[in-house]
Structure 1
Amino acid sequence: MDEHANRAAGHPDLLLEARGVTRVLSGIVPVTLVADINLSVGPGEYVAITGPSGSGKSSLLYLLGLLDRPSAGEVLIAGQRTQEMSERDRAQMRLETLGFVFQFHFLLPEFSIRENVMIPMRRLARVGEGAMRSRADELLDALGLADHRHKQPDQLSGGQRQRVAVARALANEPPLILADEPTGSLDSKSSEQVFDILRQIVEERGKTVIAVTHDVEMAARMHRGVHLVDGRLVSDERFVTTPAA
């Protein structure tokens, strides 16, 4: 494969690439959300996206997670170009490759905790009902929620609900987890628990986690920090971190 073809296909060792990604909202006065973002993320990284309010952090995350399309540039996931994919193919890639954790858990109130965790597995439809239940129970047990699997979301604390959201994100064993302010609505103790869980996902399960956060101290404890200002990437710094106890 020649050099040009290799660039087009994406680097085989990278899990995610953003190449000149720009997002502009059209209108009488166009608004640029992110501009000319170039970013490469490999397996096993724990990456913080930081920046002031309105800097484009969440907009960038939604573009990386294929929840939005760039106006220019492209996103590659596991070496695959996504810009020209159909919405159906992009949805399939999200199910297979990406897991999402948002600031608000978005658990469905009419379903039990176990059933919420099973939702991505039902959509992917690759294993039977028994295997889905076993997988959901294994994840809930690993996150200290085994005794709550038959409860409804409103019977859990905010921190517990966010841990269920993490379990749901892991349901299909995606290599990449994208988190948008995952501790933003939690108290300090629950925030610490969720942060430690995300770190364990990286260090013990071999996943990659990219998290938008306004918490500078938390970001500094991650492997790497990407900082945005006015929609532009202004720094990409690797931090020295110590393993979780």
Structure 2
Amino acid sequence: MSLLAAIGMGKRLPGGVTLVQDIDLVIEAGEFVAVIGPSGSGKSSLLYLLGLLDRPSEGRILLDGADTAGLAPADLAALRLSRIGFVFQFHFLLPEFDALDNVLIPIRRLDRLRGRDARARANALLDALGLAGQGHKLPEQLSGGMRQRAAIARALANDPTLILADEPTGNLDTKNAAAVFDIFERLARDQGRAVVTVTHDVELARRATRRVHLVDGRVVSDERG
């Protein structure tokens, strides 16, 4: 059974504008997928649909074989919180919270861990991402690369099986962008998570184990290796 599957998926806006169409896409655990294509090709729209942040106009999205179409908004939100981690181009760390408290936000929302256990989980993630001893710092006290790594730690807080990233290196220099892709590679290869990232950087996309190319909202190629 596949981790995630889009079957005949399309999204149209009122007025007839088509964002994506005829999407048949299966994502397996342990895959590192780069979604590429020209500006306006529907890459981010596809990601938001796969992440259950938006509903398709047609077709289905299955997570672990279960159809998500009939779920109420609250149930979709709970599914996202427990199963999917999101990383965006802008880190979206809350500026008034330090790095540790930012990572604790989804842990506290899910409410599986509390107190010392929750803090231990958050600190372990920061340590694993090269941010040992940085948890007390506010986002403005961290470099751009460190802020994005803190955002990745937050995305991993609830141990999701699927990581979705929308242009996560768009605001980073070459060195920090490569470091982010290093992390994604390890998450897929060593931990068996599925990682799907939208990127405009062709060189970084080549590091993924699979490249899905979108043009005008359609998948025009799907290459592995």
Give the TM interval when normalised to the shorter protein. Answer: over 0.9
- SS of residue in 1 equivalent to 2:133: helix
Superposition RMSD in Å: 0.7
Pairing 1:22–2:2 present? no
Q: Counterpart in 2 of 1:65?
A: 51
Report the Cα distance in structure 2 between the residues aligned to 1:55 and 1:226, rounded to whole angstroms. Answer: 12
CA-CA distance at 1:147 after TM superposition:
1.4
- Which aligned pairs between 1:152-231 and structure 2 lie closer than 5 A? 152-231=138-217
CA-CA distance at 1:228 after TM superposition:
0.3
Structure 1: gaps of 5 or more residues: 1-12, 240-245
Report the Cα distance in structure 2 between the residues aligned to 1:43 and 1:195, rounded to whole angstroms. Answer: 17
| TM-score relative to the length of structure 2 | 0.98
Pairing 1:53–2:47 present? no
CA-CA distance at 1:183 after TM superposition:
0.5
Who wins on radius of gyration, i.e. which is larger? 1
Report the Cα distance in structure 2 between the residues aligned to 1:44 and 1:216, rounded to whole angstroms. Answer: 21
Pairing 1:88–2:74 present? yes
Q: Which amino acid letter does the alignment assign opposite residue 23 of structure 2? A: I
Pairing 1:31–2:12 present? no
Moved over 4 A (4+): none
Number of residue equivalences: 225
| TM-score relative to the length of structure 1 | 0.91
CA-CA distance at 1:219 after TM superposition:
0.9
Q: Which amino acid letter does the alignment assign opposite residue 76 of structure 1? A: L
CA-CA distance at 1:217 after TM superposition:
1.3
Identity %: 60
Q: Counterpart in 1 of 2:86?
A: 100
Bigger RCO (CA 8 Å, 6+ sep): 2
Deviation string 1:50-92 (CA, Å, 9 cap, x unpaired) is 0000000000000000000001111111111111100011001
